[in-house]
């Protein structure tokens, strides 16, 4: 392979040809404009010359006028007439026969923009695979499929009934009489042992409500329960200040009652960051986290939420939202991310970003939003239902506020929301609607949700409250933009 970055020799000439074609096209556009101007100048020259000749001939037939003008001024007068006629004819013909884009040079700007967009699309396009690479990829997919089918067959034969699962969970719960609990693989502190027993009881009570609908857990639902338990274990570990090793060990023991082996549970933990990026997986993790948080707050029926979580896990949600072409665009932005990195280091700052991603993606799942892209310090998302966007923003800020309690590095977040009809292209959004949403997010303060007047108007009649925050100057917008703050705290007074 050569050092120029091309995959093979056949690809290189094609790219050169495209580059030459773009240059020739740009030159042709410029040449067309100059050719038109040249023709118009020639016509103006001929018309001005003919007009000057007619006037000169007329003066020759009238000696009195020629004498009045004088021989010295006669030539200057004819030149002046020719010049004025040439300028008038050229300007009027150019205005009539050339477009506004050609006169202002915008045709070159638009052509350049199209070329730049084409080049970006080419740069971001996935690499073309050779036939040998394509064949290798197909073989790899086939091997993975065969391995997955083998594992599913093995797990289907080993999947325990819920009666067995409940019995195992009761055996591991010291509050219920049963066989002695097997020796733990990790030396837990008394606090960790207590939390482990609490999680086992939480799981057993949750599975009691699932028995009637699902007497046997298939692989898909076992994975969903594992995600649910992961969220519950994480909430329990954070509330009890357990170490990461203790939290992982508690999780491994907990999912073991579902037939998940320790090595499989460890692989599950290793892939947790990938699961957090999947909205469906994230929703199940958050359901477990919220249920455990509710139980620790005194809700005795919180464990029963597993049944509802599994119902949602088995339903394919339609995120079409509304039939309206108006959609909401939301931007989130982590406040002080650069200073956070300098103060606490890359690892701690990245952990805050992950916390932000988890909370925002959980909100998108719950309120039928779609993640458009990650901006590095935030997320750009869209909602078919405008009110859902505001409710998602409220959910996010309340969740951030709750998790910041006792956190060593609090997450600061601001949100901006606008609604309109953006341009949709290549799974991305463009246009004034998107630009204004980003500007609104920039104007927001920490822990604040700012929305445009359009969003507030669409949300009239909904159980949402807003506070008028005046108008702000926005870069790229001529007139000041009225802004409103969505109320998400109890001590905020809503606008009338």
140 found inside a domain: no
Q: 394 and 432 share a domain? A: yes
Which pLDDT does position 492 carry in this prediction? 61
Distance of CA 44 to the CA centre of its chain: 56
Which pLDDT does position 296 carry in this prediction? 85
Q: 106 and 169 share a domain? A: no
Q: 291 and 183 share a domain? A: yes
Which pair of structure tokens corresponds to residue 223? 């994975």
Q: 339 and 303 share a domain? A: no
The domain spanning residue 482 has which CATH number? 3.30.70.1230
86 found inside a domain: yes
Q: Tokens 């020739």 belong to which residue?
A: 24
**Alpha-carbon distances, residue 485 vs 100, 181, 297, 402, 478 (angstroms):** 43, 54, 30, 20, 22
Burial environment of residue 319 by CB neighbours within 10 A (0 to 12, 13 to 18, 19 or more): middle
In DSSP terms, 467 is beta-bridged to: 485
- State how many domains the chain has: 3
What's the length of the chain?
A: 496
Q: 56 and 163 share a domain? A: no
**CA–CA dist 354, 436 (Å, integer):** 26
Question: Beta strands 413-420 and 449-452: pairing type?
Answer: parallel
Residue pair 297/374 in contact by the 8 Å Cβ criterion: no
Q: Show the domain range for 481.
A: 327-486
**CA–CA dist 307, 322 (Å, integer):** 28
Which pLDDT does position 186 carry in this prediction? 55
From 264, 287, 313, give the residue that closes a domain: 313
Considering the entire predicted model, what is its pTM?
A: 0.44
**CA–CA dist 14, 20 (Å, integer):** 10
130 found inside a domain: no
344 found inside a domain: yes
Q: Tokens 């707050």 belong to which residue?
A: 297
Q: 476 and 353 share a domain? A: yes
Which pLDDT does position 270 carry in this prediction? 81
SS3 451: strand
Q: 433 and 394 share a domain? A: yes
Q: What is the pLDDT of residues 232-277, one digit of tens each?
A: 888 888 777 777 788 888 888 888 777 778 888 888 888 777 777 6
CA atoms within 13 A on the CB side of 14: 7
Q: What is the pLDDT along the chain (496 residues), one digit of tens a residue?
A: 444 444 444 444 444 444 444 444 445 555 576 777 788 888 888 988 888 888 888 877 777 776 777 766 777 778 888 888 888 888 887 777 766 666 555 656 667 667 777 776 666 566 677 787 777 778 777 776 776 666 555 544 444 444 444 444 444 443 333 333 443 455 667 777 887 888 888 888 888 777 767 767 777 888 888 888 888 888 888 777 777 788 888 888 888 777 778 888 888 888 777 777 677 787 788 888 888 888 888 887 888 888 888 877 776 544 444 444 789 999 999 988 878 888 888 888 888 888 898 899 888 888 888 888 888 889 999 998 999 999 999 999 999 998 888 788 888 999 999 999 888 887 788 888 999 999 999 999 999 999 999 999 999 888 899 999 999 998 888 889 999 999 998 766 554 3
From 313, 339, 371, give the residue that closes a domain: 313
From 290, 313, 336, give the residue that closes a domain: 313
Buried-exposed string 457-484: b where 16+ CB fall within 10 A, e elsewhere: ebbeeeebbbeebeeeebeeeeeebebb
Helical spans, DSSP H, in 62-130: 63-69, 71-97, 100-104, 106-124
Q: 478 and 388 share a domain? A: yes
Which pLDDT does position 208 carry in this prediction? 77
Contacts of 92 (CB under 8 A, 6+ apart): none
153 found inside a domain: no
DSSP state of 320: T
Which pLDDT does position 109 carry in this prediction? 65
Which pair of structure tokens corresponds to residue 364? 């998108």
151 found inside a domain: no
**CA–CA dist 328, 417 (Å, integer):** 7
141 found inside a domain: no
Q: 307 and 339 share a domain? A: no
Q: 222 and 306 share a domain? A: yes
Residue pair 396/332 in contact by the 8 Å Cβ criterion: yes
Contacts of 394 (CB under 8 A, 6+ apart): 449, 464, 486, 488
143 found inside a domain: no
Q: 79 and 179 share a domain? A: no
Q: What is the pLDDT of residues 142-169, one digit of tens each?
A: 776 776 666 555 544 444 444 444 444 4
Q: 199 and 335 share a domain? A: no
């Amino acid at each position: 392979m050569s050092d120029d970055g091309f995959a093979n020799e056949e690809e290189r000439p094609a790219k050169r040809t495209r580059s030459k074609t773009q240059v020739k096209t740009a030159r042709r556009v410029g040449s067309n404009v100059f050719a038109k101007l040249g023709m118009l100048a020639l016509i103006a020259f001929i018309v001005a010359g003919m007009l000057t000749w007619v006037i000169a001939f007329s003066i020759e037939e009238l000696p009195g006028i020629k004498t009045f003008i004088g021989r010295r001024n006669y030539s200057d007068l004819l030149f002046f007439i020719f010049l004025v006629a040439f300028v008038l004819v050229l300007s009027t013909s150019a205005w009539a026969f050339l477009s506004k884009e050609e006169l202002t040079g915008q045709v070159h700007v638009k052509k350049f923009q199209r070329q730049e967009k084409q080049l970006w699309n080419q740069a971001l396009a996935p690499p073309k695979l050779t036939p040998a690479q394509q064949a290798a990829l197909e073989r790899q997919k086939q091997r993975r499929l065969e391995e997955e089918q083998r594992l599913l067959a093995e797990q289907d034969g080993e999947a325990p009934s819920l009666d067995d699962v409940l019995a195992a969970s009761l055996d591991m719960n010291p509050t219920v009489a049963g066989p002695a609990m097997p020796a733990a693989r990790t030396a837990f502190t008394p606090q960790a042992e207590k939390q482990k027993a609490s999680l086992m009881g939480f799981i057993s009570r949750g599975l009691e409500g699932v028995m009637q609908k699902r007497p046997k857990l298939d692989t898909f639902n076992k994975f969903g329960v594992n995600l649910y338990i992961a969220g519950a274990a994480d909430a329990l570990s954070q509330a009890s200040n357990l170490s990461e090793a203790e939290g992982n060990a508690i999780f491994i023991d907990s999912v073991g009652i579902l037939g998940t082996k320790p090595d499989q549970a460890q692989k599950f933990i290793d892939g947790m960051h990938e699961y957090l990026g999947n909205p469906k997986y994230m929703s199940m993790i958050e359901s477990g986290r919220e249920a455990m948080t509710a139980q620790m707050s005194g809700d005795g029926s919180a464990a029963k939420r597993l049944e509802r979580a599994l119902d949602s896990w088995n339903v394919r949600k339609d995120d079409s939202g509304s039939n309206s072409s108006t959609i909401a665009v939301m931007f989130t932005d982590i406040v002080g991310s650069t200073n956070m990195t300098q103060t606490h280091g890359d690892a701690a700052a990245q952990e805050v970003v992950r916390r932000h991603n988890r909370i925002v993606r959980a909100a998108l799942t719950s309120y039928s939003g779609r993640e458009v892209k990650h901006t590095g310090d935030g997320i750009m998302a869209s909602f078919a239902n405008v009110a859902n966007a505001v409710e998602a923003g409220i959910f996010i800020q309340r969740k951030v506020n709750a998790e910041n309690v006792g956190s060593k590095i609090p997450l600061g977040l601001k949100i901006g929301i606008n609604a309109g009809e953006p341009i949709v292209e290549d799974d991305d959004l463009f246009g004034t609607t998107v630009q204004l949403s980003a500007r609104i997010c920039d104007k927001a303060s920490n822990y604040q949700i700012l929305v445009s007047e359009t969003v507030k108007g669409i949300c009239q009649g909904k159980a949402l409250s807003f506070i008028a925050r005046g108008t702000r100057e926005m870069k790229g917008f001529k007139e000041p933009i009225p802004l409103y703050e969505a109320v998400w705290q109890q001590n905020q007074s809503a606008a009338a």
